[in-house]
Structure 1
Amino acid sequence: MASLPILSVLEDTQVSPPPATIVDTSLTLTFFDFLFVSRPPIHYLYFYQLPLTKTQFVKTIVPNLKHSLSITLQHFFPFVGNLFIFPTSTKKLPEIRYVDGDFVKLTIAECNLDFDDLTGNHPRKCDMFHHLIPHFGQQFFKTSDYVKIATFSLQVTLFPNNGFSIGTTSHHSLGDASTQFYFLKAWITIARCGTNHTFLANGTLPVFDRLVNYPEVDKSFLKYAYVGSFFSQEYKPHNLSATDNVRATFVLTRTFIDRLKIWVVSQIPTSSHISSFVVVCAYIWCCMAKIRNDEKQMFIVPLDCRKRLDPPIPTSYFGNCLRMSISIAKTSLLTGNEGIIAAAKILGENIHKELAEKDGLVKDYSTLNIDEMLKTIIAISGTPKLVFYDMDFGWGKPKKFEVVSIDYSLSVSIHACKECNQDLEIGVSLTAKEMEIFICVFKEGLELHV
């Protein structure tokens, strides 16, 4: 007897803004966006526990999501537009365009995987989550004059009598975590009310003005978009591929973080750059260092620059507005007895330097003195400042939130916990053998600093 398919597609549909609510328009990318034009998409996955039958799901949840999404899109046109990339010879900057008739691809599906297993913290096969994430796939069009790529797609998947998931795929040039967060907050407000009246009265409209205005920096950073690669015959859009990796979630309580920070500060009292976030990153870096045997390792921390530009720009600025703080250390240093102290000192100083230099936020990365390509590059995804567990469409907060895009590389997600915003959830995707070591190292560190 043949086994049932893991995923059954119930409907493939398209969602557009209400007619005549948006005129044809475009948004030119800035140097902050160029860093992410060629990077893999961002994949978010929200699990909602609700004992629904298929009939209830199709007749209540799906229509509400479609209707509210359509209304929301009129205020966030780049989410329904397409990214246009032009050949290097044109010297034309990439842009996101919306024209009448554009849409968001929405897949409605049913899944027979174990809902409770997927929403746990224990190691789970990454491949299982890939079924729940929408792929751009054929939403890629190339001519000799331009490449057109979809910016956003959705998949809503039912787990009969258990709940459902909402999976989002966003092209990273669309915006950073802050931009994603403000879009989702607007969507849930509209979904709960049925109209956009409450959102317009109390919400925050996105700021599309290109307030980050550094034309010379744009020209300098355009090389990081790797425009030429999109026009090569070998280019293929990023999609999640089969993997043997497993993912797990680890919790760092505020009590542990405070205790660790006090201890680190006591060891390096002359340093004034040791924040709670720095010690969390230092702890993660040292844990990751013990599963890799490379001579050196790199750790990348994204820094939101909205409030740090001169003059500052609104938190609702639409797009990417991140600067990467890059730290490098010898693995032997990170795995030594004072590894966390060393890591915190390096990370704290580099983050401070990045933010304190007058031209630090707009300087070219080519000035960095990186003399070799490192095998182990760990990057942080997300921020504890944005509470993604607040995404309540009217049926309660998510049971679990996952950043599936950490499967593309050695990235680590950090976000606030559901139960307490002061506690942090750490998402990690590793091979089964690496995960086994990481779990032991992570637990040992917790016991050591209790």
Structure 2
Amino acid sequence: MAIGLKMSHKIVDGTTCGSFISCWAKTALDDGDNDQVPSVIPKFDAASYFPPLDFSNSSQLSSAKLVGISKHKYITKRFVFDASKIATLQSYLASPSPAHAPTRVLAVLALIWKCAMEASSKSSNIALGSRPSSLRLTMDLRRRFEPPLPQNLAGNVVSNLIVIATASLIKGQEESDDETIDLKDLVAKLRKGFEQQKETYSTKQPFDSNKAWQRVQEYRKLRRNVDMDHLSCASWCRFAFYEADFGWGKPAWVSIPSIPLKDVVILIDKRDGKGIEALLTVSEEIMEHFESNPELLKYASVNPRVM
């Protein structure tokens, strides 16, 4: 038996979706003891924390359209990273000691971004690093506020971490004409982006919605004016989807269907909570390069059987 859920991103984010599913499952199993259910019921009072913007101006409405919807043909495939493979990748990226190993999400994300840059270079027949590449990671803000906001606060309580890689990350080989991207450098750049995010993005109340909207507009202007590759990412790891028991036991598999957004990767836990499934949506041509990338295939399986 499968349960499907369709929600509008205008009113929910991944955390809200997780809270709704947890509440739904606990309610379905309610045996008369309602002590636990109220703690996970979604709270729809996000406007008290994030003052709504006035979009009555038509120019603002036109600029608020979703970026990424495309009529071109794109394809979604699963790249599954087992826990042991992720551990191997983390060990390789640990520098200068195991204590500095990147998180599993950071390690997987850096590898996928590296492969995306290489695929774009090959499909466009241009030199690797000849144009910049941006990565936008959607981050949950609830735990980042002081004090933290409730995890069952419904809405889009997120911010975007934007990191741009330029030719400075491209390393030429002394004895070869080939060029490569240093994966460890890419991890370091992502880490630096996380640190800068903590310093520059307000996580104190009251929240300045106008300033947040201005940041979004600046990034969209950059994408319009600069020729660059782009990859959007959202991590749904550590959400309690596999704990949702509606009465038939915990799920055997949780996933997200393909979406009509180009150049997007969504990360979600495997059932063991240690492995990661990466759902990648790119053009068919780009996907061919991903599926044949030896470095990626060293750590991930392409569309393996679910059961």
Q: Structure 2 residue aligned with 1:202, among 16, 36, 45?
A: 36
Aligned to 1:228: 61
Q: Structure 2 residue aligned with 1:345, among 166, 170, 188?
A: 188
Aligned to 1:356: 199
Change (3 A) 1:305 1:230: closer
| C-alpha separation in 2, matches of 1:202 and 1:358 | 34
Q: Judging by fraction of residues, say which structure has more strand.
A: 1
Q: Structure 2 residue aligned with 1:411, among 259, 264, 278?
A: 264
Aligned to 1:424: 276
Aligned CA RMSD, in angstroms, stands at 3.8
| Residue 187 (str. 1) matches residue 16 (str. 2) | no
**2:137 aligned counterpart, secondary structure:** strand
Taking every aligned residue pair, what percent have the same amino acid on both sides?
Answer: 21
Structure with larger RCO (C-alpha < 8 A, sep 6+): 2
Write the mapping of 1:242-257 to structure 2, written as runs, cut at 5 A: 244-257=73-86
| C-alpha separation in 2, matches of 1:400 and 1:229 | 39
Aligned-partner residue type, residue 253 of structure 1: D
Aligned to 2:89: 260
Does the CA contact (< 8 Å) of 1:306 and 1:313 recur in 2? yes
Change (3 A) 1:282 1:206: same
| C-alpha separation in 2, matches of 1:202 and 1:367 | 43
| C-alpha separation in 2, matches of 1:346 and 1:224 | 38
Does the CA contact (< 8 Å) of 2:22 and 2:240 recur in 1? no
Structure with greater Cα Rg: 1
| Residue 173 (str. 1) matches residue 10 (str. 2) | yes
Return 5+ residue gaps in structure 2 as ranges: 125-130, 172-178, 301-307
What is the TM-score when the length of structure 2 is the normalising length?
0.72
**2:85 aligned counterpart, secondary structure:** helix
Does the CA contact (< 8 Å) of 1:297 and 1:331 recur in 2? no
Does the CA contact (< 8 Å) of 1:286 and 1:334 recur in 2? no
| C-alpha separation in 1, matches of 2:249 and 2:50 | 43
Aligned to 1:440: 292
| 1:221-256 deviation line (CA, Å, top 9, x unaligned) | 96999753399xxx9x99x98764332211112222
Aligned-partner residue type, residue 103 of structure 2: S
Change (3 A) 1:330 1:211: same
Does the CA contact (< 8 Å) of 1:211 and 1:313 recur in 2? no
Does the CA contact (< 8 Å) of 1:273 and 1:348 recur in 2? no
CA drift of 1:350 comes to 0.7
| 1:353-394 deviation line (CA, Å, top 9, x unaligned) | 112347367543156694734453211123211143344423
Question: How many matched pairs?
Answer: 271
| 1:8-39 deviation line (CA, Å, top 9, x unaligned) | xxxxxxxxxxxxxxxxxxxxxxxxxxxxxxxx
Does the CA contact (< 8 Å) of 2:255 and 2:268 recur in 1? no
Return 5+ residue gaps in structure 1 as ranges: 1-47, 49-164
**395-404 or 407-416, which deviates more:** 395-404
**430-439 or 205-214, which deviates more:** 205-214
Aligned to 2:113: 285
Aligned-partner residue type, residue 410 of structure 1: D
| C-alpha separation in 1, matches of 2:58 and 2:156 | 13
What is the TM-score when the length of structure 1 is the normalising length?
0.51
| 1:86-113 deviation line (CA, Å, top 9, x unaligned) | xxxxxxxxxxxxxxxxxxxxxxxxxxxx
